[in-house]
Each structure stands twice: as C-alpha cells, then as structure tokens.
Amino acid sequence: MISFTCDYSEGAHPKILERLAATNLEQLPGYGMDPYSESAKARIRAACGTPNAEIFFLVGGTQTNSTIIAAMLRDYEGVVSPETGHIGVHEAGAVEYTGHKVLTIPSHHGKIDPAELEAYLTVATTDPNYEHMVFPGMVYLSFPTEYGTLYSKAELQEIRRISTRFGLPLMIDGARLGYGLASPACDLTLPELAGLCDVFYIGGTKVGCLCGEAVVFPRGNAPKHFYTITKQHGAMLAKGRLLGIQFDTLFTDNLYFEISRHAIDMAMRLKALLLDKGCTLFIDSPTNQQFIIMENSRLEEFGRHVAYDPWDRIDADHTAIRLATSWATAPEHLEELGKWL
C-alpha cells in the first residue's frame, strides 16, 4: 500500500543519514555547542541573508511553537492566530499550557485576511474593557498554511505593517517552509520572508530530517536567555549534534531547496493527475498538500490501496481528503496512486 497521508512518512534524506554515520564517533560537546551546529547556523544565516540572526535548533513543531510563543509574550498577552492555526487546533493546548490564550480571527483557507486582522486589533486595543481582556501580544501565521495555501509578498507586507502599527512581533510557522518557498505560486524569497517577520522557523521534520526545526530570530532579536528557555521547555537536545548535522547537511549545496522543489514537482504532477481523473479539488493548493473531495462510497475501497488523511466532512455523502507529497515522493508513487483514483 502506498501512502500520501502526510509529509513525515519516511525517515530522513539519505545524505543526512550518511552524514550522521560519518561523524558518529566524533566526540562533540553537547547542547548545541558542537561545530556542526555552528556551521549549520552560519549556512542558515547566509541562506536567509541575515548575518545577525540568532538561530536555535529545537526538536519538533508543537514544542517549537509553544516555546517561541511563551518566550515572546508577557503573561497578560495572547497570540493572534487564524482559527485554523495549528497552535489552536492540533497541539493539545500546548500554548494554553504555558498560560497564554490563542486569540482567534477568521481563517480563509488557513490564511489571515489583513483587513480583518487590523479591525480585530483596533477593537482589542480600544475596547472600553480592554484592560480586563487578554492583550494581543504577537501575530502567528503559517507559511504555507495548514491548508496548503500561501501568502503573497504583498499580503505579508500588509500583515507586517499592521503588526508593526500595533507593536506586535510577527511569527511565521515554517513547519513546511521549504514547500512554500519552492512553490511556483510563491513570490518571495527566504531573505524576503526573513525580513518581514520577527521570528520564523525552518521546518526540518517535514522537509527531510528525522526531526528538528531551526528557529531564526532574523535581526539578533531573540528573547533574552532563549537558550535557557528551550531547556526549561524540554526542547534542548543533549546530543545537539543530531540537529546541527541535519541542518548543516540540508543547507549544504542547496539540498533544502532542491528536495522541496522535488516535492512541489511531485505535488503539481499529483494535482494534474487528480484533475485528469476527474477529481474535484477541495482547495486549489499551490504546495505539497493537495485536497480533493471524494464520495464516501469510494473511500473504503480507495483506502485499501492508498493511505490518505481524512480532512473535513463536506456533506452526508462527501469527504475532503488530503494527499501530501514530500521530499521522498517518487514518480512510482504517483503511478500507483493513479491506479486507484
């Protein structure tokens, strides 16, 4: 059986495994103080065009989100997120566990509408009772979103203008960042994205690593003692080399971008295949997550041959499902899928 369930079905890109093996018996300092972590940071700074960036390697996405958010907010502040934001839905309340409210605004296929954001922040800061309410303390968005969609550069600039107007840092959840940047629909570069936010992370788990997310504070603007904060959150690896070596490899010879592009190529071929087979798109996604609407009557048989992610109930007879490609998707996977559509 073939799986299009998600983009973390396989292990790591073979070059990463090779590098882990090649360096395995080197005795290295722990907790991210090893030279591979340093080298990875330098390469990421170069890729982002942010020579003063402070970079930290954390282990997984939920952990990274809650650690960053807790570090950037004061106790009385919450994080503004579209209501479909990963932090408010599928992270088991990790943000609230650190004491902070997720302040939701409407989601448009995963995206914030800048005008709605501005209206929300205007009310939140002028309400006669605002001192009895949670203060918006930062803005969170995902690039690409949980629905595979992308913000245009103009949209990000507008969100940036608004968050700056209200004095709020802007965070970009880049769990699938590579797949966003590699999309033909993407009109910004990594340095441009880095310049438009106050913190973002470069997802490794879903883009070729065994685990790991590289948190980037682009202008040396990390919260004081963020290193200790990661320890307190249980987000610091003793063998930091595991993260350092992976990201060092990913950012050598453009590997991160190449494997992302491969995933997007596969996704575009997947979309063409789906349309060719007469499938109805649920969302016209430009990234590695593709969504179709399928008759419930077909799901059982289809599911016997293809693992997929059930996404949303459309009506009594139809379900939206997700099919995702990744760095590891091969043309044969698509061929096999084609048999069962």
Using CB under 8 A, which residues numbered 102 to 121 contact its own copies? 102
- Measure the CA–CA gap between 36 and 242, rounded to whole angstroms: 9
The stretch among 73-81, 152-160, 277-285, 314-322 that binds its own copies (CB under 8 A) is 73-81
- Cα–Cα separations (whole angstroms), residue 66 to 97, 216, 291: 9, 15, 28
Q: Find the shortest distance in angstroms from Cβ 158 to its own copies.
A: 24
- CB count in 10 Å sphere of residue 171: 26
Report 238-277 residues binding its own copies (CB under 8 A). 238-239, 241-242
Q: Which of 89, 185, 273, 293 binds its own copies (CB under 8 A)?
A: 89
- Positions 271 through 330 that interact with its own copies (CB under 8 A): 307, 310, 328
Instruction: Give the tokens for residue 210.
Output: 């065994």
Strand 199-203 with 54-58, pairing: unpaired
Minimum distance of its own copies from residue 65's CB (angstroms): 8
The DSSP call for residue 131 is G
Looking at the Cβ atoms of 79 and 216, the one nearer to its own copies is 79
Q: Which of 236, 267, 279, 283 binds its own copies (CB under 8 A)?
A: 236
> Binding to its own copies by residue 92, rule CB under 8 A?
yes
The H or E element that residue 213 is part of is strand 213-217
The answer to whether 184 touches 286, Cβ cutoff 8 Å, is yes
Residue 159 is a binding residue for its own copies (CB under 8 A): no
Site string for its own copies, 174-213 (x = CB under 8 A): -------------------------------xx---xx--
**Residue found by looking up tokens 């996604």 in the block:** 285
User: Please, which residues have CB within 8 angstroms of residue 129's CB and are 6 or more apart in sequence?
Assistant: none
Count of residues of this chain found to bind its own copies when the rule CB under 8 A is applied: 79
Nearer to its own copies, 36 or 151 (CB): 36
Q: How far is the CB of 157 from its own copies (least distance, A)?
A: 29
Q: Answer yes or no: are the C-beta atoms of 308 and 340 closer than 8 Å.
A: no
* Contact window for its own copies (CB under 8 A) among 72-80, 161-169, 189-197, 270-278: 72-80
Would you count residue 126 as binding its own copies (CB under 8 A)?
no
Distance CA(233)–CA(216), nearest Å, equals 17
Q: Is 189 helix (H, G, I), strand (E, B) or coil?
A: coil
Contact pick of 229, 283, 292, 294 for its own copies (by CB under 8 A): 229
DSSP string, 146-182: TTS----HHHHHHHHHHHHHTT--EEEE-TTHHHHHT
27 in contact with its own copies (CB under 8 A): yes
What is the pairing mode between strands 289-295 and 318-324? antiparallel
Nearer to its own copies, 24 or 297 (CB): 24
